[in-house]
Amino acid sequence: MSKVWTLTKVLFKCGLGSSFGKNNKKTSSQTVRIILVVLVGVCMLPYIFMLYMAGAGGYELLAPAGQPGLVLELGAYVGALVTLIFGIPMVISVFYLSADIEKLIPLPVKPWWVVCAKFLVVLAYEYLMTIVFIGPLFVGYGVASGGGVLYWLFTVLGILCLPVVPLVYASVFAMLLMRIFRRLKNKDFLTIVGTMFGLVIGFSISGLSGYMGGMEDSSAMQALLLEKGNSLAGIISGFFPNFRFLVRGLADESILQMALFLLTIAAVVAAFLWLAQKIYFSGVVGMGESASRARRMTKEESMKLNRRSTVQRSYLKKEWRQMFRTPIYFLNCALMTFIWPVFFAIPLVLGLSGAKGSAEGMPSADELIEGLSQMLAEPAVQGIILIVVFGITVFICSCSAAASTAVSREGKGYYFMKYIPVPYEVQVRAKVHLGIVIGWLGTLLYVLIAGVMGIVLLGLNPLVVVFALVISALTVVMANYLQMLVDLSNPKLTWDNEQIAVKQNMNVMLGMVLVLGACLVLGAAAFLLYAVLPLYAVAGVMCVLLAAADAALYKLVPMFGARKLAELEE
């Protein structure tokens, strides 16, 4: 095991890299780390408190019914599912897409050593999510139940061991996938399959939550959760059968149950490493390849490529092709921008379908349209529409990492930006414009469709739609320039695969916090102005403020970027 630990240390230091790129100013980098950790911690405090209250309140609610352990059981299952969803892409990245694969295969190491070391690296990162998702709930339950020393000791052991089985499932899935699809073994295919699998699981959980939220009958909810054989907990326990030992060990403070939980995990890990010894190396050979098809260009295509264009437009085309031809970049920087309505539509549809018996007494379609038309004629409702459009635009821009990783995506090839005969200001604007175009495609189209439907079907004032489109367009510009400012300040240029550049880049989180903060200030200003000005006057002032901010950022960010890019090491 000493060799496994040594390999783990090497992979942890070199394989995933630091969350920040190279920076000659050590003090500046440390300051950014401290500020980022504080901001993330402050943003997570309400969520942590909510989970703490859920654990304490769940115990007080279910203890009289003799089912207090159900809180721990559901918490453990939710934590396992979250680990599985986020673990699949990370396992695929670390196990198969990292650059160290070609260096490890020729070495005299056993396959299970490599798998065990990589598994521990992924497990270390999964602990962050487990502590946030499960820790507060277990603590709340322990405080409410007056847990003893054994409970708190078992809580620590449970949090450390809970992600192991879900990660084993994710690892086995990845290894079997490579064995089944040997001829399609390349980065593009594997990345897309793994991410889509995670999205399917996420949509399924979201849909189930919407279905449960539509249940108004408490007896139906109780049957779903508690009924033996058909309960939600009973169904999920079929995937994680050893969790019942963890729950009983915590609820009863039983040493025997906790020992059984640890023994089952040891057995699962032993079986997993035995399987890895048999199939891992045979599945990993040949990785690092990407699919491509060679074909003869037509005359029209050749003429199109040789067509003259402006420098900025040509650079934007380069950025566009890099984004959409690299699956990792597309899935993490652009996909959410295009499919976000699905996240709202699926829970809504399933929630409505789960509301049994609610059709009685519902108004007809004509009555519903008439009622909505009267409601939309109110200025307050129109103001709410503008706020919702603004909020959704901010949310979509925050989720997109196109601008907040624009320089980081260059990686070790950033020197390309230094030797091409293109001014730094032009390169910075082209990178920002890529994020702006993606943001516009993901927001303005939906706002326009919803606005036209509102005007035609519900008689919505067209001026509301005009202001919604202008506010959304200006917000996208401001958000992308702010995110670009973050990445220019401290780009992450040291990485060995594209996954690290976008998914393990803390600039994404910092850019999200900066955009949300700036938009909260603008939202508060609009709220204060609405107390003294009419709605459309407030909307006009907000458009002017956004346009002024965009104009200032359009001038300042490229100037700042030129200075920062010139300071990068040759």
Domain final position from 266, 284, 302 = 284
Domain final position from 267, 284, 301 = 284
Structural domain includes residue 293: no
Q: Specify the pLDDT at position 211.
A: 47
Question: What are the tens digits of pLDDT across the range 378-431?
Answer: 877 888 888 888 888 888 888 888 899 999 888 888 888 888 888 889 999 999
pLDDT band at residue 35 under the 50/70/90 scheme? low
- How deeply is 31 buried, as exposed, middle or buried, from its count of CB atoms within 10 A (0-12, 13-18, 19+)? exposed
Question: What are the tens digits of pLDDT across the range 443-483?
Answer: 888 888 888 888 887 888 888 889 999 999 999 999 999 99
Report the C-alpha gap between 478 and 549 in whole angstroms: 7
Structural domain includes residue 317: yes
Stated as kind and residue range, the H or E segment containing 315 is: helix 311-325
Q: Specify the pLDDT at position 560.
A: 92
Q: Specify the pLDDT at position 153.
A: 92
395 with 270, same domain: the answer is no
Q: Specify the pLDDT at position 281.
A: 77
Angle at 547 between CA 541 and CA 553, to 5 degrees: 140
Report the C-alpha gap between 166 and 76 in whole angstroms: 11
239 with 325, same domain: the answer is no
Q: Coil, strand, or helix at residue 543?
A: helix
Q: How far apart are the first and last CA of the chain?
A: 41
Structural domain includes residue 227: yes
316 with 374, same domain: the answer is yes
Angle at 467 between CA 461 and CA 471, to 5 degrees: 150
Helices 462-489 & 535-567, crossing angle to 10 degrees?
20
Average pLDDT of the residues in 210-235: 47
Q: Is 374 in contact with 236 (CB distance < 8 Å)?
A: no
Place of tokens 């521990």: 120
272 with 375, same domain: the answer is no
335 with 467, same domain: the answer is yes
Q: What percent of the chain has pLDDT over 90?
A: 13
Q: Specify the pLDDT at position 21.
A: 41
Lowest mean pLDDT among 62-66, 204-208, 325-329, 383-387: 204-208
By residue count, the chain amounts to 570
262 with 342, same domain: the answer is no
Average pLDDT of the residues in 482-490: 91
Report the C-alpha gap between 190 and 198 in whole angstroms: 12
Domain final position from 284, 303, 338 = 284
Structural domain includes residue 303: no
Q: Is the dihedral of CA 207, 211, 214, 219 positive or negative?
A: negative
Structural domain includes residue 15: no
347 with 399, same domain: the answer is yes
Report the C-alpha gap between 233 and 133 in whole angstroms: 18
Integer Rg of the chain from CA: 26
Q: Specify the pLDDT at position 202.
A: 56
315 with 278, same domain: the answer is no
Number of domains in the chain: 2
Report the C-alpha gap between 459 and 464 in whole angstroms: 11
Stated as kind and residue range, the H or E segment containing 425 is: helix 424-458
Contacts of 69 (CB under 8 A, 6+ apart): 247, 248, 250, 251
In b/e form, how buried is each residue of 107-138, taking b as 16+ CB within 10 angstroms?
Answer: eeeebbbbbbbbbbbbbebbeebbeebbbbbb
110 with 155, same domain: the answer is yes
Structural domain includes residue 10: no
189 with 71, same domain: the answer is yes
Structural domain includes residue 18: no
462 with 534, same domain: the answer is yes
Q: What percent of the chain has pLDDT over 70?
A: 73
DSSP string, 93-113: IIIIISTTHHHHTTSS--HHH
Structural domain includes residue 105: yes
403 with 320, same domain: the answer is yes
Q: How many CB atoms lie within 10 A of CB 308?
A: 5
Query: What is the domain range of residue 387?
Result: 311-352+365-567
pLDDT band at residue 42 under the 50/70/90 scheme? confident
